[in-house]
Structure 1
Amino acid sequence: MSQNVGNSITTSSSSPSPFSRFFKRQADGTTISLSDCTGERRALLIGINYTGRTRLRGCVNDTAIMKGFLESRRFKDENIRILTDDQVGTCWMPTRENMLHNLMWLVRDARQNDSYFLHYSGHGGQVEDLDGDETGGFDNCIYPLDHAKSGVITDDELHTILVKALPPGVRLTVVFDCCHSGSALDLPYLYASTGYIRGSSALANLAHELVEGDFDAEAIRQLQIKWQKLQNEEKEFARQVNLKAADADVIMFSGCKDDQTAGEVKVKLSRKLLSHGAMTYAFIQSISENPAQSYQEMLNNIRDLIQEKYSQKPQLSSSRPMNMQVQFFM
């Protein structure tokens, strides 16, 4: 059972806290501090169209519609920073230095119940993992405007700046609309469309198969191989949680899986045909159509909107186990 001390949830006794439904209870009795999003609101929007052969067309437009969304959620104009590559000659160009500086601004002096928002629309990619923390051997990364000269920004850097730096009880909501973005913040908990942590019930389901089934020798051998594979995956998941779980309340919507690319759409708005990132537009459209949906509903609705035209599969991940039936808020 749970007690609520301020906004700090502990696993003990009596009636549940109104906040305890947001995260799964911790078996070890550890305290989880949640943000009720009543504190300071701050946002950083980054849109990079680039030029030449790698040009994109909808990323700057994405920041405009995302700003409108934030204003509808009571984010003040003076607390929203926008980096786009059409702001030539200003400090708001999305160079690597400016991006890192503003990422640090976003989470600076964070306090309990603050609510922060980060949106990135641009190129994403993968580079060789040099520290051995990635299962697949690659770090995901994003591409600043001057990446050819100054380099990329990796998921390890983003995790250090945005996730590890945040104290308990602070909310950070993130939307990444780029290729290879599934684990772009290195958050350990990845959710399936059913609302469960991906892979969390696989061993239990297989154990049930083994107990209930009537198998020949070859089928048993194949199940044993599958069992060993799942055990190895669970050990790796535990390692990733140990490395990457954090005290803050971080939730990320990604445009696709780590091994997928992300597309753009053309949308007619105010008699103009405008390009947008498919993920950004689906996120905004989903919220507009149903402002009171749960996280699970939102993930499924975004996927449905995108998969009408594209094969990319949006992802939802978090720094802590969460209840996907809770209404989206920030």
Structure 2
Amino acid sequence: MAMHWLVQGCSSGDSLVFQFSGAGVQVPDCSGEERDGMDEAICPLDSFQQGPILDDEINQAIVRPLVHGVKLHAIVDACHSATVLDLPYQCTFSKQYGCLRWRDERPLNGAFKGTSGGQAVLISGSSNGKTQMNMMPGPDATVGAMTHSFIRAVECEPRTTYGHLLTSMRTIMRNGGGNCNLQGPAGGCIRKVANFSGVEEPQLSSACKFDIHREPFCM
């Protein structure tokens, strides 16, 4: 896979970014690792010829090789993308407790899905089993609602924590994209063509748990 080059030769102090905005699918899991019996996958342009790229493959390619001091941020805007890096822990908004909480997503068969000492963080826009809304901010571009809310949240407050970033993204998505730089003609155009009402909560997964309200977000 072409994504292997991203982590080749990485060393302590490196900050890596993987971004995908497109189609995502679920396929039956044959390894016994998945709690829901389904693997998540992304579908790049050549997926009709080569097939989708499974979460297991993505984990092996860009998560496992991360050595101590290397940090990877993955921004994935696709259907079924919440665990598309197969990371051990997922942080989502709990309706029961009214706050963001970590959930253990480690495979039932004990397979190791972590790094080689580094850190990997996934920010995605759709929980598994859910579809993701698309939006068109202009006549020549199609942008996922999660991608748009992520960009706007970072632009509004570059120095923020992971917890505040997720909260800001959630607010922007729930307000129909009407925050920050979405005012005026451009914002009106986006709100007119984009229906955010069915958009999922922003999702965060990680190779290891951390305090999202204290850890500064930095790419």
Q: TM-score higher than 0.5 here?
A: yes
Task: Indicate the residue corresponding to 1:303 in structure 2.
Answer: 170
Which of 233, 244, 249 is the aligned partner of 2:119?
249
Task: Indicate the residue corresponding to 1:38 in structure 2.
Answer: none
Task: Indicate the residue corresponding to 2:206 in structure 1.
Answer: 318
Residue 161 of structure 2 is aligned to residue 294 of structure 1: yes
Q: How far, CA to CA, are the matches of 1:260 and 1:154 in structure 2?
A: 17
Q: Deviations over 1:24-82 (max 9, x none)?
A: xxxxxxxxxxxxxxxxxxxxxxxxxxxxxxxxxxxxxxxxxxxxxxxxxxxxxxxxxxx
Matched to 1:258, the amino acid is: N
Q: How far, CA to CA, are the matches of 2:107 and 2:85 in structure 1?
A: 17
Which of 46, 61, 84 is the aligned partner of 1:184?
84
Task: Indicate the residue corresponding to 2:147 in structure 1.
Answer: 280
Residue 53 of structure 2 is aligned to residue 153 of structure 1: yes
Q: How far, CA to CA, are the matches of 1:170 and 1:112 in structure 2?
A: 5
Q: Deviations over 1:230-275 (max 9, x none)?
A: xxxxxx758477622332210110111011111111225xxx6743
More strand, by proportion: 2
Q: Deviations over 1:205-231 (max 9, x none)?
A: xxxxxxxxxxxxxxxxxxxxxxxxxxx
- Structure 1 segments of 4+ aligned residues over 6 angstroms from their partners: none
SS of 2:123's equivalent?
Answer: strand
Task: Indicate the residue corresponding to 1:111 in structure 2.
Answer: 11
Task: Indicate the residue corresponding to 1:216 in structure 2.
Answer: none
Q: What is the root-mean-square deviation of aligned Cα atoms in Å?
A: 2.0
Structure 1 residues 287 and 170: alpha-carbon distance in aligned structure 2, compared to 1, 3 A threshold: same
Q: How far, CA to CA, are the matches of 1:161 and 1:114 in structure 2?
A: 17
Residue 216 of structure 2 is aligned to residue 327 of structure 1: yes
SS of 1:191's equivalent?
Answer: strand
Matched to 1:261, the amino acid is: T
Matched to 2:49, the amino acid is: K
Which of 128, 141, 148 is the aligned partner of 1:258?
128
SS of 1:306's equivalent?
Answer: helix
Deviation, 1:320, is 0.7
Which of 122, 140, 165 is the aligned partner of 2:65?
165
* Structure 2 gap segments, 5+ residues each: 94-98, 176-195
Residue 1 of structure 2 is aligned to residue 127 of structure 1: no
Structure 1 residues 198 and 161: alpha-carbon distance in aligned structure 2, compared to 1, 3 A threshold: same
Given that residues 11 and 69 in structure 2 are in contact (C-alpha distance below 8 angstroms), is that contact kept between their aligned partners in structure 1? yes
- Count of equivalent residues: 191
Matched to 2:101, the amino acid is: Y
Structure 1 residues 191 and 287: alpha-carbon distance in aligned structure 2, compared to 1, 3 A threshold: same
Larger Rg: 1
Deviation, 1:192, is 2.8
